Chains A and B, each alone.
Chain A
Amino acid sequence: MASAFEYAPAPESRSVVDIAPSYGLFIDGEFVDAADGKVFKTVSPSTEEVLSEVARAGAEDVDRAVKAARKAFEKWSALPGSERAKYLFRIARIIQERSRELAVLETLDNGKPIRETRDADLPLVAAHFFYYAGWADKLDHAGHGANPRPLGVAGQVIPWNFPLLMLAWKIAPALATGNTVVLKPAETTPLSALFFADVCRQAGLPKGVVNILPGYGEAGAALVAHPDVNKVAFTGSTAVGKQIARTVAGTHKKVTLELGGKGANIVFDDAPIDQAVEGIVNGIFFNQGQVCCAGSRLLVQESIQDELLDSLKRRLSTLRLGDPLDKNTDIGAINSSEQLARITSLVDQGEAEGAERWTAACELPSAGYWFAPTLFTNVTQAHRIARDEIFGPVLSVLSFRTPDEAVAKANNSQYGLSAGIWSEKGSRILAVANKLRAGVVWANTFNKFDPTSPFGGYKESGFGREGGRHGLEAYLDV
């Protein structure tokens, strides 16, 4: 929407954070080179500028890190919960104090807008550590009897879409329950995890309790397969999740998987339309749609479809795409050229299969990885874009006639991670929510997160729950 009121650039300063030219692996409280000396470069997806060179972990490094974690486990797990809590509270406070640095770093390495890292990611990260710090001395009351025991060494593999937040979801409950961890961040977003290693040192966390191994899939595979790992936690794609399930099958390892999704956002004809439009936008364009629980399927009651789509398109035309460090940017960069290629290929298939494409008119920067907000109408359950997770700013719009049909279509998916319901009628919300096979169901909102609330999937979206009291179970020997 061109306007006389053009917002002047309002960039957050990137000088608030120091990025070292190179980083090592964080093992046993020290930054060290990879055993085989390998390194990789991490780039800023909005400019393709190289941010830093990072040590690339291999199988030998995984073994070193697991040994360090094993050695640290004995003392860490023997600490009273109230003492472990002090470390977690300290970490949470340091994250709050350094949140501006972390927000800029995350935006640079991931490509998401500073508005999101500043207002969503970082506050949630700190909240997660505060929340599980509170549990550390109350595990007797978690519903697993008196004095529940930790599992040992947790091997954790996290994705690139919320690098620091996924780290917090993994590390906070593991430490609160007395486990030690070896965590592998994604190869495109290692920097905030390495910054976190520094936070651990600042907090005086005993050596070996947290180990960070930046690297590629082979490091993740070695970590998951390591015989001395007691617990595997993975967030990422369903394909890799299946591989992990095969690897750990027949072992003693406890496993939680948080995988893909194809969330249905159901809008009934009595919905608060203006707020539903905001919820749809937030559901699929938050973090450029690179969210496992994104509301990527819009199910709209046919009687209001035209009206809703008009409003939605008008709203999408006001989204501001561009420099992620600009405080007024709504849509940032896609995380990598691989992800951009995947989105582009699925969108091309959508067009080839006959769905009608609409893309917001906006200029894309010449460097970096970008995809304009897009929606497809005339989509049916048979289209690939209605079934496969696109993991990008692409919304598939389907219609329904009755509540039963909405529920049937929403559940007709290999996934079951999230869903949304928009209606002003409370009884309808409750009735529909009970029938949806999704781990989280939002009513008249979407993509709302809170550390007190468990999160996880049905079907191929994975198993186990993270967050809340339920999230403790995955790290306890129960």
Chain B
Amino acid sequence: MPTTAPAALAFADVTASDGALRRFLHGLPGVDAVGLEARAASLGTRSIKTTAKAYAIDLAISMIDLTTLEGADTPGKVRALAAKAVNPDPTDRTTPKTAAVCVYPDMVATAKAAVAGSGVKVASVATAFPAGRAALPVKLADTADAIAAGADEIDMVIDRGAFLAGRYMEVYEQIAAIKAECGDRARLKVIFETGELSTYDNIRRASWLGMMAGADFIKTSTGKVAVNATPANTLLMLEAVRDFRAQTGVQIGVKPAGGIRNTKEAIKFLVLVNETVGEDWLDNHWFRFGASSLLNDLLMQRQKLATGRYSGPDYVTVD
């Protein structure tokens, strides 16, 4: 059943040994932190108004992986979340649906039933989320469980300990194994937990490692650490998927997650996408926001744009 992604074939020599993989990753061009952050900040000054804003808000809503990942999650909570994903604004049925709901594996069946027939996908975190501290068989079982329950997408975490210790091959093989488990049944998002990788050089290396190992999406973070998605780390990952497609012809998605709470910030991310990789990625098949509170702010801004009035938080649903 394991399928070998076309990209993996292109990098067969790079991934032939631990040494070759290390040399490749360390041979990627460096990242100048000041320059990267300056570019992200400069794109953040774009002024998105009227029709462009309306387009961006609808696009952003359609790109949300509406997420609940709490120890306290219950079937009721998950059903409420799923209802919101399918019908975000009860006062306006033209509002786009979100891309997916994102839950823990044991909630997948509940979520799947709740979104049935709507086109909204169910994503599930797996592989001992969020720490990733478990043996590979446990991670594979976690993944298999979620897929069996009907998950369309798997959000796995990488083993940051192995990455930071320089055991890149181990990380590569784990991603490849989870990818094989997903097969054609689920798209695989690979979470790097950029806040723990800490340096931009590491984020670029992790991006290439993930893409070569078969990720369908590369994703910034779990939302469980201090630093999550930032314009700079997302810009860096967009550059990685752009360069990867130029080299291999394979397009990979990007998902910033955690910390994106309002419309203004979300639009800044869409500007990054637009001016770094272009419209090929301006679609929820290729770009997602991992978020929960963002949706209500988008809905309030959408209402304001449509009616000219700002109605306030009592006019969007609290779930």
Interface residues of A in 1-27 (CB under 8 A from B): 1-10
Q: Which residue of B has the minimal Cβ distance to A9? A: B49
Interface hits, A237-271 → B, CB 8 Å: 270-271
Query: Closest chain A residue to B35 by CB distance?
Result: A275
Would A444 and B34 be within 8 Å (CB), given that A3-B282, A5-B279 are in contact?
yes
Most-contacted residue by chain A among B30, B36, B56 (CB, 10 A): B30
Which partner residue on chain A sits nearest B277 by CB separation?
A1
Interface segment, B40-48, B79-87, B105-113, B157-165? B40-48
Task: Give chain B nearest CB distance to A273 CB in angstroms.
Answer: 4
Residues on A with beta carbons closer than 8 Å to the beta carbon of B51 = 6, 8
Task: Kindly state whether residue A318 has any CB partner on chain B within 8 Å.
Answer: yes
- Among A1, A5, A270, A279, contact of B56 (Cβ-Cβ < 8 Å): A5
What size tier do the contact residues of chain B reach?
Answer: 20 to 34
Residue of B nearest to A273 (CB): B29
Instruction: Tell me whether A115 is interfacial, beta carbon within 8 Å.
Output: yes
Q: Residues of B contacting A3 with CB < 8 Å?
A: 274, 278-279, 282
Q: A272-B29, A272-B31, A275-B36 are in contact. Are A8 and B53 (CB under 8 A)?
A: yes
Interface residues as binary, B1-38 with A (CB distance below 8 Å gives 1, 0 otherwise): 00000000000000000000000000001111011101
Closest to B273 in A: A5
**CB 8 Å contact bits of A372-409 with B (1 = contact, 0 = none):** 00000000000000000000000000000000000000
Main SS class of interface, A: loop
Q: Cβ of A279: which chain B residues have Cβ within 8 Å of it?
A: 35
- Closest chain A CB from B235 CB (angstroms): 9
Write out the residue numbers on chain B whose beta carbons fall within 8 Å of the beta carbon of A6: 51-52, 55
Residues of chain B contacted by A445 (CB below 8 angstroms): 34-35
In the complex formed, the residue of A with least CB distance to B52 is: A8
State the Cβ distance, A287 to closest chain B Cβ, in Å: 15
Query: In the complex, what distance in Å separates the CA atom of A318 from the CA atom of B275?
Result: 7
Residue pair A272, B30 in contact (C-beta under 8 Å): yes
Asked if B32 and A119 make an inter-chain contact with CB atoms under 8 angstroms apart, the answer reads no
Size bracket of the A interface:
20 to 34
Question: Is B275 a contact partner of A327 (Cβ separation < 8 A)?
Answer: no
Shortest distance between the CB of A48 and any CB in chain B (Å): 26
Query: Cβ of B278 and Cβ of A328 under 8 Å apart?
Result: no
Distance between B153 CB and nearest chain A CB, rounded to angstroms? 24
The reply to whether B50 and A8 form a contact with Cβ atoms under 8 Å apart is yes
Contact B46 A328 (CB under 8 A): yes
B32 proximity list for chain A (CB < 8 A): 272, 275, 424, 444
Contact A274:B239 (CB < 8 A) given known A318-B275, A444-B34: yes
Cα of A6 to Cα of B52 in the assembled complex, Å: 6
In the complex, how many residue pairs between chain A and chain B have their CB atoms under 8 Å apart? Answer: 77
Q: How far is the CB of B266 from chain A (nearest CB, A)?
A: 13
Contact B29 A4 (CB under 8 A): no
Establish whether residues A278 and B49, one from each chain, have CB atoms under 8 Å apart when the complex forms: no
Bound state CA distance, A221 and B308, in angstroms? 58
Which residue of A has the minimal Cβ distance to B235? A274
Find chain A residues with CB under 8 A from B34 CB: 444-445
CB distance from B27 to the nearest CB of A (A): 10
Q: Confirm or deny: B39 has a beta carbon within 8 angstroms of a beta carbon on chain A.
A: yes
Q: How far is the CB of A318 from chain B (nearest CB, A)?
A: 5
Q: Does B270 contact A (CB under 8 A)?
A: yes
Q: If A4-B282, A6-B52, A444-B34 touch, does A275 touch B46 (CB 8 Å cutoff)?
A: no
Which chain B positions have C-beta within 8 A of A271?
29-30
Contact of A424 among B30, B56, B275, B279 (CB under 8 A): B30
* Partner among A4, A5, A270, A444 whose Cβ is within 8 Å of the Cβ of B35: A444
Cα A63 to Cα B29 with chains together (Å): 60
New contact pairs (15) apart from A274-B39, A274-B239, A445-B34, CB-CB < 8 Å: A3-B274, A4-B55, A4-B279, A5-B282, A6-B52, A7-B48, A7-B49, A8-B50, A10-B48, A10-B49, A271-B29, A275-B39, A328-B47, A424-B32, A444-B32
* Chain B residues close to A by CB (< 8 Å): 29-32, 34-36, 38-39, 45-53, 55-56, 59, 239, 270, 274-275, 278-279, 282
The 5 residue pairs across chains A and B that have the minimum distance between CB atoms: A275-B35, A10-B47, A327-B47, A424-B30, A272-B32
